[in-house]
């Protein structure tokens, strides 16, 4: 039973679009310049900046104009409340399951926030399980989180595929374990020299298809 390890943010769901929409509403609600959207998104860095650092930057910029609980709400719930699972991705996961793949979400982040995204989008009904870095005490690309994902569903890690948008966390993490991978480009060019994905796809649906097609070629029925 092949194992498919899937990143969550900006792979299965468009986390940046969801967070960007939340930021736009936040700025409007507090009568702040709409042009600050680009600044907040840059500070956030697709969620890779530590939450307390983003909060400190927002507080320093806006001071008493924005209550602390409003900042907390934005950072804790902004993206989780708005993420959606695109229909092609949902269909691709359904087909992968039908093919016998064991699908597991492997994500960095805080447990409550990431699990809220998984349940809100219905991913909890489309995957066998998930692991969140905060819960397991290890972050991608550390090998322990990938091993934890395999252990969570009782499937060997050997032969697994990793799908994700981060060259460092996902693709380098897969390479270090000798796993095959599909990089979700989201319109970007591959520029890394230290590692290389097995395939490149424009989005999660096409990435899942690439893994399925590769395996079908290796195991013709």
Looking at the chain, the domain(s) classified CATH 3.40.50.1000 span: 3-14+83-218
Quick one: residue 178, left, alpha or beta (phi over 0 = left, psi -120 to 50 = alpha)?
Answer: left
3-state class (DSSP) for residue 63? helix
| Res 216 pLDDT > 90 | no
Assess contact for 123 and 86: CB atoms under 8 A: no
CA distances from 51 to 19, 42, 148 (A): 13, 13, 24
Cβ neighbours for 163, distance < 8 A, ≥ 6 positions apart: 4, 5, 6, 7, 11, 170, 181, 182, 184, 204, 207, 208, 211
d(CA 156, CA 56): 42
Q: Provide the pLDDT for residue 211.
A: 96
pLDDT band at 166 (very low <50, low <70, confident <90, very high): very high
Q: What is 3-14+83-218's CATH number?
A: 3.40.50.1000
Mean pLDDT over the full length of the chain? 96
Q: Provide the pLDDT for residue 221.
A: 46
Average pLDDT over residues 19-48: 97
User: Model's pTM, two decimal places?
Assistant: 0.94
pLDDT digits (tens, 9 = 90+) for 98-143: 999 999 999 999 999 999 999 999 999 999 999 999 999 999 999 9
User: Which residue has tokens 């468009």?
Assistant: 14
């Amino acid at each position: 039973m092949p194992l498919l390890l899937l990143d969550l943010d900006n792979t299965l769901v468009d986390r940046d679009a969801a967070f960007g929409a939340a930021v736009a509403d936040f700025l409007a609600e507090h009568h702040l310049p709409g042009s600050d959207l680009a600044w907040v998104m840059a500070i956030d860095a697709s969620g890779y900046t530590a939450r307390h650092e983003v909060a400190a930057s927002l507080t320093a910029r806006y001071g008493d104009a924005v209550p602390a609980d409003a900042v907390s709400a934005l950072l804790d719930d902004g993206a989780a409340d708005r993420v959606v699972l695109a229909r092609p991705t949902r269909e691709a996961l359904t087909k992968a399951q039908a093919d016998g793949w064991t699908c597991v979400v492997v994500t960095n982040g805080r447990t409550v926030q990431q699990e809220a995204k998984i349940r809100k989008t219905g991913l909890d009904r489309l995957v066998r399980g998930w692991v969140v870095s905060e819960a397991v005490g290890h972050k991608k690309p550390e090998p322990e989180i990938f091993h934890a994902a395999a252990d969570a569903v009782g499937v060997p890690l050997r032969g697994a595929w990793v799908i994700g948008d981060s060259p460092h966390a996902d693709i380098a993490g897969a390479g270090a374990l000798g796993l095959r991978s599909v990089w979700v480009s989201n319109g970007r060019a591959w520029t890394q020299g230290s590692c290389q994905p097995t395939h490149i796809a424009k989005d999660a649906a096409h990435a899942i298809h690439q893994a399925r097609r590769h395996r079908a070629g290796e195991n013709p029925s």
